[in-house]
Amino acid sequence: MNLTFNPENYALLLAKYQSKVITNDAENEQAIIIAQELAHRTNRTSEESALYDLLIALIEKYENETYPMGETTPLSMLLHLIEARNFKPTDLIGVIGSSIVVSEIINGKQQISKAQAKALGEFFQIDAELFID
């Protein structure tokens, strides 16, 4: 695995993907598609990792400015992620428990436990702390 950073290769990636500040939803969607492609690439190069980090920063900046979330709770974060990724609550069965457990969490009748938060963090590939009060 090549762990050294090659500026010329990075410049070629930047030219290919033409990364820039995101100004609208179409550009955001395109950046998300590229970031997802890079995220799932096996043996990602240092240059691809740098481009991925850049895209994530640009996406987060655009989404935070365009769609401010305000104060979030573990449940609101979970509901947002389910909606944003076009999932259904049933997609969480097996991740955090049975259909009854998922239903109780989604309906606010049960708190997300630390073990469930960890599983959700791994499932959504985000910090598990976002699911803990």
Domain span including residue 127: 74-131
> What is the biggest distance separating any 2 CA atoms in the chain, rounded to whole angstroms?
54
CATH code (residue 115): 1.10.260
- Whether residue 2 lies inside any domain: the answer is no
Give the chain's length: 133
pLDDT at residue 132 above 80? yes
Token pair for 19: 């990364």
Provide the pLDDT for residue 19: 85
Q: Both 80 and 55 in a single domain?
A: no
Query: Does residue 103 sit in helix, strand or coil?
Result: helix
Q: Both 78 and 120 in a single domain?
A: yes
Among the candidates 39, 66, 93, a domain finishes at 66
Integer CA distances (angstroms), 63 to 26, 94, 116, 121, in order: 12, 30, 26, 20
- Whether residue 48 lies inside any domain: the answer is yes
- Whether residue 1 lies inside any domain: the answer is no
**Residue of 59, 77, 58, 60 whose CA lies nearest to 120:** 77
Provide the pLDDT for residue 3: 65
Integer CA distances (angstroms), 9 to 12, 16, 48, 67, in order: 5, 11, 9, 34
Q: pLDDT-based confidence at 95, cuts 50/70/90?
A: very high
Count of structural domains, the chain: 2
Provide the pLDDT for residue 100: 95
- Whether residue 93 lies inside any domain: the answer is yes
The values of phi and psi at residue 97, to 5°, are 145, -165
pLDDT at residue 131 above 90? yes
Do the beta carbons of residue 63 and residue 51 sit within 8 Å? no
Q: Both 11 and 51 in a single domain?
A: yes
**Residue of 48, 63, 56 whose CA lies nearest to 9:** 48
Q: What is the pTM of this model?
A: 0.54
Q: Both 95 and 123 in a single domain?
A: yes
Among the candidates 23, 49, 66, a domain finishes at 66
Query: Does residue 93 sit in helix, strand or coil?
Result: strand
